[in-house]
Amino acid sequence: MINKYLFIFKIIIFSTSLSAQTISGNLNQELKKEIKLEGFDGLKTYLISSSLSDEKGNFKLSYNKSDFGIGYLIASDNKPFFIILDGEDIEIKGETLSYFESIKVTKGKQNQWFEQFSKEQPRREQALSAWGYLDKIYLSDDIFSIQSKPKKAIKDEKYRIKNEEKKFINSLPKESYVKYYLPIRKLVSTVSSIAQYRTEEIPETIETFRCLDYADQRLYKSGLLKDAIESHFWLIENSGKPLDIVYEEMKKSIDAMLSKLVTNEKIFNEVTDYLFDLLERHSLFNASEYLALKVLNEGKCTINTDLANQLETYRAMKKGNIASDIVFDKSNFVNSNNTFTKLSEINAKYTVVVFGASWCPKCNEELPIIAKLYDKWKSNGVEVIFIALEEDYKAFTDFTKSFPFLSYTDLKKWECKIAKDYYVFSTPTMFLLDDKREIILRPNSVNQMDTWVDWFLVKGNKIKSE
C-alpha cells in the first residue's frame, strides 16, 4: 500500500514538472541577487517564482499554465522586464534588467517576437507622428498644398509603415498570446500621440477600445486592464469635443463595456468599481452617475456589497433629487448658539452638508481648508454644516472647536440616521443643496466646491453688479 501511494506521489510530481516552464538566463551585473517573476490578475499582481542568482549571474525560475499572460522579472533595482508567459521555456542574457537595451532573448519564439516589436514599434510611431505633422502642413498651407508629389509620397509612406506593422502581426501564430497582446499594447501606448498629432484617428481608436472584451481572461492577465480603461476614457475626455458630446460618447463606451462584462461576475465588479472611481476622480459625474445606475439595474451579475452601497448613493442622491430634511438635537452642536432644529430652517440660498470625522485622514486635510474658505462662501450665500460620524464627544469637540461653521454629531458613527438618510458610505462626502434641498452638486473635493462658488456665485455677482 505504501509503495502504491509513493508511486502516485511520484506521478503527481512528474506531471507537475512537465506542466511547468522555465525562465533562465544570465545577468552579469546581478550577482547573488534575488530575481523575482510576478504576474497579473486584473488590477493586481502576484508572485509566481523567485530565486537567487549565482556568483556569475545565472538564475532559473519556473511558471505554470495558470500563469499565462504577461509576467515581469524584477531584480535589485525593482525595474520590470516584461515577458510573455505562454507555455514556452525562455532564456535571456544581458547586464541588468533595468538596462533594457542590454537584454537579449536567446530562447522563446513569442518573446523574441515581443522583443522585436517592442524595439521597432516606438520608431514606427515616431515616424507616423512626424509624417502626420507634415501631412497637415501640405494639406492646409498654401505654400505646400499645390505640391501633389510630396503629398502622395507622405500618404504612401504612412500606408507603408502601417502595413508593415500589420504584416508582422498577421504573420504570428493564430493562437499565440503574442498575437493577441501586441495590438492591445500598441492601442494603449499610442493614445497620447493620436490625441496630439493624429486627431483624425480618434474616432477609430475609441471604437477599437469599445470592441475590446474587458472580461477576456487574456486581457485580465495582460497587465493592460487598468491602462486600457484609463486610456479609453482619457481619449474621449481629450477628444476636443464639447462636454455634452463627451458624456454621450462615454455612455456609449460604458454600454459597450458592460455588455461583455456581464459574462464574468468577478471581473464585472472589479472593472466597474475601478471605472466608477476613475470617473469620480476626474469629476466626470454625469458619466459616473450613468455607470452607477446601469450597474445597479444590471440583473445578470451580483454586485459586491461595498460597491452596491457606493453606487446606491447615486440612485438616491443624484443631482436634481430632493435631499431629506435633517432633524437636529440642539445639544449635539458644538460652538453654536443656533435656535433651529431642522436643516430646512437654515436661512441660506445654498447649504453644503459635509460628512466626515476626526479619525478620517482626508477630513483632517479638507475641513481646515473649508474653514479658511468659509467667509468667502458665506458672503456669497453658501452655509456649511459639518455632520461628524463620531463616537467620542471629546474627539469631536477637539476636532471642530476652531471651525467657524456649524458642527453636529449624534455619536453613533456609521449608525447615524443622517448618514443613512444621505447614503453616506465614506468620508469626506459633500452635498451642495439649494434652499429647497434640491441636490445641486456632489463635490468630490473642497477644490471643486470652491471652483463652483467662484464660477457660479462670485463671477455671477460681479456680472450683476456691472
Total Cβ atoms within 10 A of residue 449: 24
Average pLDDT over residues 252-271: 93
What confidence score (pLDDT) does residue 305 get?
67
In 3-state terms the chain splits into helix, strand, coil percentages (rounded to 5) of 55, 20, 30
Is residue 150 predicted with pLDDT exceeding 60?
yes
Instruction: Supply the pLDDT for residue 19.
Output: 61
Residue 116 to residue 169: CA distance in whole angstroms: 11
Q: Which helix (H) or strand (E) holds 144?
A: helix 142-145
Distances (CA, A) of 280 to 37, 184, 450: 34, 25, 17
Residue with more model confidence, 238 or 162: 238
**What cell was used for 424?**
453616506
Pairing relation of β-strands 350-356 and 382-388? parallel
**Can you tell me whether residue 436 is helix, strand or coil?**
coil
| pLDDT-derived band at 78, boundaries 50, 70, 90 | confident
pLDDT in tens, 448-461: 899 999 989 987 66
Q: What is the pLDDT of residue 166?
A: 87
The CA distance from 167 to 163, in Å, is 6
Beta-carbon contacts of 86 under 8 Å, excluding residues fewer than 6 positions away, are 68, 69, 110, 176, 177, 178
Check residue 143 and give its pLDDT.
Answer: 77
Residues sharing a CB contact under 8 Å with residue 364, sequence separation 6 or more, in sequence order: 358, 399
242: preceding bond cis by omega (within 30 degrees): no
* More confident of the two residues 461 and 415: 415
Q: Tell me what the pLDDT averaged over the chain comes to.
A: 88
Per-residue buried b or exposed e for 181-191, using 16+ beta carbons within 10 Å of the residue's own CB? bbebbebbbbb
Three state DSSP letters for 188-201? HHCHHHHHHHCHHH
Can you give the pLDDT at residue 14? 43
How far from each other are the two terminal CA atoms of the chain, in whole angstroms? 99
pLDDT tens by residue, 151-180: 888 888 888 888 888 898 999 999 999 999
pTM of the model: 0.71
Closest CA to 26 of 50, 59, 75: 59
pLDDT at 466 over 70: no
Across 13-22, 57-66, 164-173, 181-190, least confident range: 13-22
Strand, coil or helix: 40: strand
For 23, 77, 433, 441, the CA distances from 438, given in Å and listed in that order, are 61, 54, 5, 9
Question: What confidence score (pLDDT) does residue 121 get?
Answer: 83
Q: Please answer whether residues 50 and 13 qualify as being in contact, where contact means their C-beta atoms are separated by less than 8 angstroms.
A: no
| In 177-331, alpha helices (H) | 177-189, 191-197, 202-211, 217-220, 225-237, 243-261, 265-281, 285-296, 305-316
Packing angle, helices 265-281 and 225-237, rounded to 10: 40
CB–CB of 426/277 below 8 Å?
no
CATH superfamily of 330-465: Glutaredoxin (3.40.30.10)
* Confidence check: pLDDT of 190 > 80: yes
Over 60: is that where the pLDDT of 12 sits? no
5 has pLDDT over 60: no
Q: How far apart are CA 424 and CA 429, in angstroms?
A: 7
Instruction: Say how far apart CA 412 and CA 373 lie, in whole Å.
Output: 28
**Mean local confidence (pLDDT), 286-299:** 83
How confident is the model over 78-82, as a mean pLDDT?
90
pLDDT, tens digit, for every residue of 330-385? 777 775 666 678 999 988 999 999 999 999 999 999 999 999 999 999 999 999 99
Is 27 strand, coil or helix?
strand
pLDDT greater than 60 at residue 432: yes
Sheet of strand 58-63: strand arrangement: 58-63, 21-27, 90-94, 104-107
The predicted-structure confidence for 212-228, as pLDDT tens digits, reads as follows: 999 999 999 999 999 99
Cβ within 8 Å of residue 327, ≥6 positions away: 341, 342
Query: Which of the four pLDDT bands, split at 50, 70 and 90, describes residue 18?
Result: very low
Q: What is the CATH number of domain 16-103?
A: 2.60.40.3330
Evaluate if residue 27 carries a pLDDT over 60: yes
Confidence band, pLDDT 50/70/90 cuts, at residue 462? low
Q: Cβ of 149: how many Cβ atoms within 10 Å?
A: 7
Domain positions in the chain are 16-103, 172-316, 330-465
- Three-state secondary structure along 202-224? HHHHHHHHHHCCCCCHHHHCCCC
* pLDDT tens digit sequence for 295-322: 887 767 776 766 777 777 777 888 889 9
pLDDT band (50, 70, 90) for residue 131: confident
